[in-house]
Chain A
């Protein structure tokens, strides 16, 4: 599974979700690609109004997308469900 996380340095929810994603990285062997809303080219991800955006891919296909703040348990659930 691959996770793409799009955040911004000015966003409080992104700071909170960075903690969650870092914990996921430590506990699961998922590839995490971290992109910055202000600096990276993110057009292809069609980001809406809320940051961060966390997109889950399996075999290069988007299977789930989360916006804003979510718990470690919720993300862990998505990973376990798909593996």
Chain B
């Protein structure tokens, strides 16, 4: 008598097959998304003659000449510092303001809160170009062009509604009895928010912070319009390189600067990754 064809073994085979399929689907999707980045990094170490070979080559004599040349020519260190300042500055301000606004929308009984929230979200539907020019005029009027704070405030206009809606979702998922309990235990509403809700929502806050930093990090239009030299960011440098087509597109420089732009964000994401653990709220309530 053989047991190979029993329903249990068939079920086990199907379960294993489904698991393998899930794993390999994940691998394929990851490869599709990571390949352009891999290719960018690879190209950045190629000499111009190796960039457009047919077929494309994976093996070549690597060089850092492009990096050495463009780090200084495109003023990357200062621009990278500017990018760090404006992206983290705007993300932090947006997390504080948008987080508190999201909490208010999630918890407080405010007349018209839903409408207000929707209005703020709809503001994201306005094309940035329509805002960039008026912003430039306002900044020029106040003598604030080419300053970090101008770009930070400009970025806050699109980051705060984004943060507010994301954080609202996180706060809605937390039982309101947590802060009610804290308020009975001796906290004010704000105290309960800071001491109880913020630590519990930290994974959500950090993931929102990462997305906000990335959104600000890669922003080009406002940076192009509102900055000139002092507060200029890396995407502006990349736009400059891409626009310099006298001798054809400089792919080596573009990929080198692109790699320099990506590396800090990846390092930041890896650093905060351990804080992004989910399930911290497990055990808060019944279960």
A associates with B: no
B residues near A, CB below 8 A?
A: none
